[in-house]
Copies of this chain bind each other. A is one copy, B any other.
Amino acid sequence: MNSFGRIFRVSIFGESHGPAVGIVIDGCPSGVALTADDFTTDIERRKGGTQKGTTPRQETDAPIFQTGIFRDKTTGAPLTIMFENKNTRSSDYEKQRSFPRPGHADFVASKKFGSNEDFRGGGHFSGRLTVCIVAAGVVAKKVLKNISVTAKILEIGGEQDLEKGLQKAIDAKDSVGGIVECTVTGLPIGLGEPFFDSVESLISHAAFSIPAVKGIEFGAGFQAAKMFGVDHNDAIIDANGRTATNNAGGVVGGISNGNDLVFRVAIKPTSSTPKEQESLNWETGEVEKFSIKGRHDLCIALRVPPVLEAVTAMVLADLMLLENKISRVAG
């Protein structure tokens, strides 16, 4: 379904080329101060066109508060925020309709929803909806108050020098992937459950809702698989549970341990590469060469950090409310 969270529950809706996209947040505490300005930074960070390698499509992306806000504060009723889709060029997509684009949802969406899906710009399967997730994240971060959630790019196209990685893509006239790391400081001990609702379970569930994420690892992650136990174990060094190292990434037995929550996600290269590709032509039934038109990012990973922060903040706001660490009446 298109909802996530048990107490702080976010629902997203919309299509790339419909009138609007948006979110409803149910269970948001009342009394959270909120104005359009609060959204500017993260929405700009997510937006294409300001960085080398991102799509020239420009949306104003001003949040429109529809419900749940009164006198610039949340009321405790469902909070609805919408974003108009102004700058769409559906004709780009009509032309490509005969080719289900490799790496995109075209083929599976058509199988799943039959002939009725809105194929324009990927429809509901569009990265456009991440603006909604970012907006939910802005609210969630405000709810979290003294907990900081920060994501940054570690690597582009296999290069830690990000300019270099991007230039590789430009030179190759192809798209590239990247790695993004998220760090959360200020978390209390005790969030999460031992099995099905471990912190890792919930964070990964949320992180894989971001298009193009293909892997996630906590703390030492995949490197842990190559370590000895005595090297991996984080020695506890004080009564607050602080550890000397943080190979666990802040989660032990599924539960937050009071150290920084640290995890990384792998972002695949943008599926819409400018390069010529081969794939099935639905009309001819043959595998043929074709090129993708439209405006696309060379490296979608550049836009991921605020989205990753957002889903992380959503999970944590939910857990903090669930564990009574945050009041449902904020102010």
Contact = CB atoms under 8 A, between A and B. Distances in A.
Interface string A124-154: 1100010001000000000000000000000
A252 B268 CA distance: 11
A327 to B, nearest CB: 7
| Interface size band for A | 35 or more
A30 interface: yes
Interface in A1-17: 1-4, 6-7, 9, 11-15
A118 interface: yes
Contact of A235 (B11, B70, B278): B278
B14 A66 contact: yes
Given A66-B82, A67-B18, A67-B20, A235 B279 contact: yes
A175 interface: yes
Interface in A224-279: 224-239, 241, 243, 247-249, 252-258, 266-273, 275, 277-279
B234 A102 contact: yes
Contact of A229 (B77, B109, B273): B273
- Of A21, A69, A76, the most chain B CB neighbours within 10 A belong to A76
Contacts of A93: none
Contacts of A208: 198, 200-201, 204, 254
A44 interface: no
Given A105-B255, A279-B235, A26 B6 contact: no
Instruction: Label chain A's interface by main secondary structure.
Output: mixed
- Of A11, A71, A100, the most chain B CB neighbours within 10 A belong to A11
Nearest to A314: B196
A91 to B, nearest CB: 16
Contacts of A52: none
Contacts of A197: 1-2, 209
A314 B255 CA distance: 23
Q: List the 10 closest A-B pairs by CB distance, nearest first.
A: A105-B253, A215-B217, A229-B273, A77-B124, A175-B229, A158-B226, A76-B113, A13-B78, A70-B118, A200-B208
Interface stretch (A35-43, A55-63, A176-184): A176-184
B105 A194 contact: yes
A307 to B, nearest CB: 11
Contacts of A27: 1
A74 to B, nearest CB: 7
Nearest to A168: B228
A107 B158 CA distance: 38
A129 B211 CA distance: 33
Contacts of A74: 116
Contacts of A225: 155, 158, 177-179, 214-215, 266-268, 301
A85 B223 CA distance: 34
A331 B195 CA distance: 24
Contacts of A324: 324, 327-328
